[in-house]
Structure 1
Amino acid sequence: MTCSWNTQRRWDRRTILRGIGVSMALPWMESIPVWGQATAATASNSKPPVRFAALFAGNGFHSKEWWAEGDGASMKVGRVLKSLEPLRDQMLFIRGLYNQEALKGNIHSSQTGNLLSGAPLASGGEIRSGTSVDQWIAQTYGRNTKVPSLVLGCEKSNPSVHKNYSMLYSSHISWSSPTTPTPLEIYPALAFDRLFKEEVHQQDQSVLDAVLGDAADLRRHVSQSDRRKLDEYLDSVRDVEDRIAQAGKRGELQGWRPTMEKPDRERPADGIPQDISEHMRLMCDILLLGFQTDTTRVTTLKLNNDHSSLRFPHLGVDYMIHHLLSHSDTEDWLKVNQFFVEQLAYIATRMQTIQEGDGTLLDNSMLLFCSSMMNGGHDASQLPVVMLGKGGGRLETGKVLDYRDAPNRQMCRLFLSVLDKFDLHPEQFGDASEPLPSV
């Protein structure tokens, strides 16, 4: 995201050139009191990229079995989260966050359409929400890949109206703009094609190219001698990049490379699988393929709609649709909850087996799992939130964070924390103006 340089800008030791997903320190210049250095490591992007995924399960969870307490390997979890027990050291269980706007409307649509943005929703069938956190990341950091954002779902959008709100809000968690829900792909074959149909894979752009606009603006505000110094500095960075590129062509490994160059499985069959278990697993695998091949770094996976009509015969639960099951804390409802969390556990477990340098794909990712209400009674006073992965060392995991008694416990504070990990620092996001402490 290019900055605008001007004579009123405050210069300090932290000033850097910025581009999309890139920052580069400046050398010392007489015109401004800035120190910095360029190295082969910063120029070559040698570290694995950080990935972000948001997974959504509608209608909340069993009210008595969604909980966690303790730290690390000794953490205890409720039965809904049982499949995450082997991943406790990678888990951040967050309690007490809420979405203020979700309490102003009615139920379902008005609780879901702004889950990832915290924006006010238009009623009366009109469509207006806010740009979601995944798209904030995709529209900047995500541009470094072939597919800036992959938006997947396992249930078709519902175009009807419920309680004076469009059901499109119940069907979409990702919004590219306040009036545009991001197109949702529910066909595994078409999602696969979007990732891999074109043979040419778009690699990261040059670090230098990413910051040239910012450098040109700076150049107009420094002395003649500093312009020469800046040009020499940028030329040296370009030389490092060129040498690294040539080494790569000779087969010499330099810096991070994706663990796979092409998919390791066949294209899924056309259509939508009749078995919801197969459908969800295919979408999980496509999410993994996108990250593992570095075809995308931002994905949302909507496992179902809020107010969902999915059925679960493979669980022996076929007498009632998802939405109606959610209205009481039965053992069958618990089975369905566990099935949904198992999708998250599958993704994270697979990620943990994929080595990337000194860590794993899970170490270099942030997985957000949430719903628009705590339980099927439409309780949105606090939301179920779990995060997995260390975000490239930027997240401290293996702990429970409880904000129930905090004065400012907006869900959007969590999103500001996530954006901060991607070097995106909006002054305001939804109803929040500061990130969460301890995240």
Structure 2
Amino acid sequence: MFASTRPPLSRRTFLRGVGVGLALPLLDVMAPAVARAAEAPETPRRMFGICNNLGLLPQHFFPEKAGRDYAAPAYLELLKAHKSEFTVFSGVSHPDVDGGHPADNCFLTAAPHPSSGGFRNSISLDQYVAERIGHKTRFASLTLGVNVSPGMRSLSWTGAGVLIPCESSAAAVFRRMFVRGTPAEVEAQVRKLDGGRSILDAVGGQAADLKKDLPAGDRDRLDQYFTSVRDMERRLAVAKEWERKPKPKPPGPAPTDAADPREYMDRVRLMYDMARLAFETDSTRCVTLMLDSVNSPVIDLPETKLTEAYHNLSHHGKSPAKLAQLKAIDEAHMRLLADLFAGLRTAKEGGRPLLDRTMVLYGSNLGNASTHVTTNLPVLLAGGGFKHAGHLAFDRERNYPLPNLFVSMLQRLGLSADKFASSTGTFRGLELAG
């Protein structure tokens, strides 16, 4: 296929020059020449971000020794079958992300001071990725949650700092991925998308008329608005195309949601299954999962009788009874995580384990839920094509910036990024595999 070498026309420049050209379709001359050439098959890479907002008991999570030959503490012992496939970090945190529980909304944004007056969140890691590669899959991203307080908590935030609500039903996620509507329903959905796009066009045109009479600061804000409108316009166009494409064949019957929030671990397991299926079918390459333990009641565990709600247990006051119950909860989390790793390892893509191409980030916004400390966060990264280094230990008094890990993850996804939030570079000690 012939590919022009002429530099592509900037759509942003075109909008500035014409003012009311926002609604025009993306023209061929606006696309990079390389994008119009025949593209070589790519190797998809993916990310799954998980936050348990009540953390883990640190004494059972962090190894004492750095490097690959550490003696596994109780929680990591439950992940021993995957020891070569993940790296555990100590002495890491998000600079200036404080405020205790509100910090969970910043786990993938690293926006500072979430409990301060007038706080506005910033774009989350998954949405940064979705903006750049989300068009390659049916869903730009999936935002999931377990026992999430609706409208209050999420790991996914737009570039404008708007919360993306969590989907809490595994059955609904399954239907979105695998169940196609009737032809009439599909066309009705396409008409809705067309209607949404026309509304954006009209609003965009009105905003353009205002721009010429505004001061410089307001014009900058309006430019940001134009950018968000263009992004939404692009997403609507992509969604319209996907509506008419067949969905993958379901691997089995739809899951049955755990009806009671006390069935917390069943809900977690189902969401892990949905994330794995989404990656196996290449339905999306970005999934987040907020485990809202703060909003969870007295949960059911098969072998341990719990006496208080999850949040109340986290304020244990060093009570042996509460600590024993928390340890049982944490160990249940680790067993589910081990099952997730095993499932991603068993699933194959191009003859390689899916885990090799899927970064699983597991951690918490709290280093110690009992005291609401937001430093020394319990974090591990599995899979994804890294040379896993065992235990990377940093200064527990002057923490190493966790956003550096996000830069390394972006680069592993093939994105040209050298900065995210408060990062200072890529993550030290974590190397890419071949």
> What TM-score results when the alignment is normalised by the length of structure 1?
0.68
Q: Which residue of 1 aligns with 2:425?
A: 434
Q: Which residue of 2 aligns with 1:45?
A: 41
Q: Deviations over 1:43-96 (max 9, x none)?
A: 33153x111001111212113111134655x54221122221100000111111
* Contact persistence 1:120–1:130 (CA under 8 A): no
Written as runs of structure 1 = structure 2, the 5 A alignment for 1:11-160 is: 43-45=39-41, 47=43, 49-68=44-63, 69=65, 71-72=67-68, 74-103=69-98, 105=99, 107-109=100-102, 111-121=103-113, 123=115, 128-157=120-149
Single out whichever of 282-291 and 372-381 deviates more from structure 2.
372-381
- Structure-2 change in CA distance of 1:354 and 1:322 (3 Å): same
* Contact persistence 1:75–1:88 (CA under 8 A): no
Q: Which residue of 1 aligns with 2:306?
A: 318
- Structure-2 change in CA distance of 1:23 and 1:125 (3 Å): farther
Q: Which residue of 1 aligns with 2:348?
A: 355
Deviation at 1:25?
Answer: 11
Q: Which residue of 2 aligns with 1:268?
A: 255
Deviation at 1:124?
Answer: 6.9
User: 1:128, 1:309 → 2: CA distance?
Assistant: 29
Q: Which residue of 2 aligns with 1:179?
A: 161
Written as runs of structure 1 = structure 2, the 5 A alignment for 1:305-344 is: 305-306=293-294, 308-309=296-297, 311-328=299-316, 330-344=323-337
* Contact persistence 1:263–1:293 (CA under 8 A): no
Q: Which residue of 2 aligns with 1:281?
A: 269
* Contact persistence 1:412–1:432 (CA under 8 A): yes
- Structure-2 change in CA distance of 1:131 and 1:172 (3 Å): same
Written as runs of structure 1 = structure 2, the 5 A alignment for 1:246-265 is: 261-265=248-252
* Contact persistence 2:54–2:364 (CA under 8 A): yes
- Structure-2 change in CA distance of 1:414 and 1:125 (3 Å): same
Matched, 1:412 2:403: yes
The sequence identity of aligned pairs, in percent, is 26
User: 1:320, 1:3 → 2: CA distance?
Assistant: 61
* Contact persistence 2:92–2:376 (CA under 8 A): yes
Q: Return the structure number with greater helix share.
A: 2
- Structure-2 change in CA distance of 1:25 and 1:299 (3 Å): closer
Deviation at 1:327?
Answer: 2.2
- Structure-2 change in CA distance of 1:63 and 1:400 (3 Å): closer
Q: Deviations over 1:27-49 (max 9, x none)?
A: xxxxxxxxxxx9x9xx33153x1
- Structure-2 change in CA distance of 1:270 and 1:348 (3 Å): closer
User: 1:271, 1:123 → 2: CA distance?
Assistant: 33
User: 1:358, 1:270 → 2: CA distance?
Assistant: 32
User: 2:144, 2:336 → 1: CA distance?
Assistant: 14
Matched, 1:374 2:362: no
* Contact persistence 1:97–1:403 (CA under 8 A): yes
Single out whichever of 122-131 and 63-72 deviates more from structure 2.
122-131
> What TM-score results when the alignment is normalised by the length of structure 2?
0.69
CA RMSD of aligned residues (A): 3.3
Q: Which amino acid aligns with 2:325?
A: D
SS in 2 for 1:278: helix
User: 1:310, 1:428 → 2: CA distance?
Assistant: 41
Matched, 1:421 2:412: yes
Q: Which amino acid aligns with 1:286?
A: M
SS in 2 for 1:44: coil
- Structure-2 change in CA distance of 1:94 and 1:123 (3 Å): closer
* Contact persistence 2:67–2:392 (CA under 8 A): no
Q: Which amino acid aligns with 1:157?
A: S
Q: Which amino acid aligns with 2:170?
A: P
* Contact persistence 1:151–1:182 (CA under 8 A): yes
User: 2:146, 2:396 → 1: CA distance?
Assistant: 36
- Structure-2 change in CA distance of 1:190 and 1:334 (3 Å): same
Matched, 1:301 2:320: no
User: 1:296, 1:23 → 2: CA distance?
Assistant: 26
- Structure-2 change in CA distance of 1:420 and 1:126 (3 Å): same
Q: Deviations over 1:291-339 (max 9, x none)?
A: 1111111111122244644523434233111112122351211111111
Deviation at 1:286?
Answer: 0.8
Unaligned runs of 5+ in 1: 6-18, 27-37, 160-167, 201-259
* Contact persistence 1:59–1:373 (CA under 8 A): yes
Q: Deviations over 1:353-380 (max 9, x none)?
A: 1122342001111000010111222222
* Contact persistence 1:62–1:375 (CA under 8 A): yes
Q: Which amino acid aligns with 2:280?
A: Q
Q: Which amino acid aligns with 1:293?
A: T
Matched, 1:365 2:364: no
User: 2:155, 2:358 → 1: CA distance?
Assistant: 20
SS in 1 for 2:361: strand
User: 1:89, 1:123 → 2: CA distance?
Assistant: 38
SS in 1 for 2:325: helix
